[in-house]
Amino acid sequence: MALLLARLVGSSGEVVGVERDPRSISRARARVAEAGLHNVQFIESDVAQVRSDKLFDAAVGRYILMFVPDPASVLRSVSQFVRPGGVLVFQEASYSPFLAAARPLPLWSAGALLLARSQTVNLMQSSPTRCSSIFGNLLEHFQK
């Protein structure tokens, strides 16, 4: 994402990537250097805990929010770094259309039901309350 954005903003713009995994940052820095880009830097941080005194024209994320416990909080936090009139863009996967389309397929429904049942049994042993809230809805969905 950083490489694409760096090319979009050009040499007069700046891209700051946020990543919590140092190995991913190392790989990204190597790719940036290989591309000959000088307008990209990386911060090692959890996206929910980023701190900056700068305002940016845009904040862009891809496949991030689905992996954080409180996506709305992350959006509120990141939006504080976007100047008034700036852009806040996140691309995330939505599996709802796929699940709706796959629901009537016999093999999909049977497989999902088996998975839900096995996960329910495993989770029931460790956390019965959590189990009913997580997998109860899934079982109900595929038993219809």
Tokens coding 69? 């416990």
Query: Can you give the residue ranges of every domain in the chain?
Result: 2-91, 96-143
Quote the CA–CA distance of 114 and 55 in Å, as a whole number. 49
Q: Could you list the mean pLDDT of each consecutive 10-residue stretch along the chain, which spans 144 residues? A: 86 90 94 93 90 89 88 92 90 80 77 69 53 51 52
Quote the CA–CA distance of 20 and 92 in Å, as a whole number. 18
pLDDT at 133 (0 to 100): 52
* Fold category of 2-91 in CATH: Rossmann fold (3.40.50)
pLDDT at 67 (0 to 100): 85
pLDDT at 23 (0 to 100): 95
pLDDT at 30 (0 to 100): 95
pLDDT at 80 (0 to 100): 92
pLDDT at 99 (0 to 100): 75
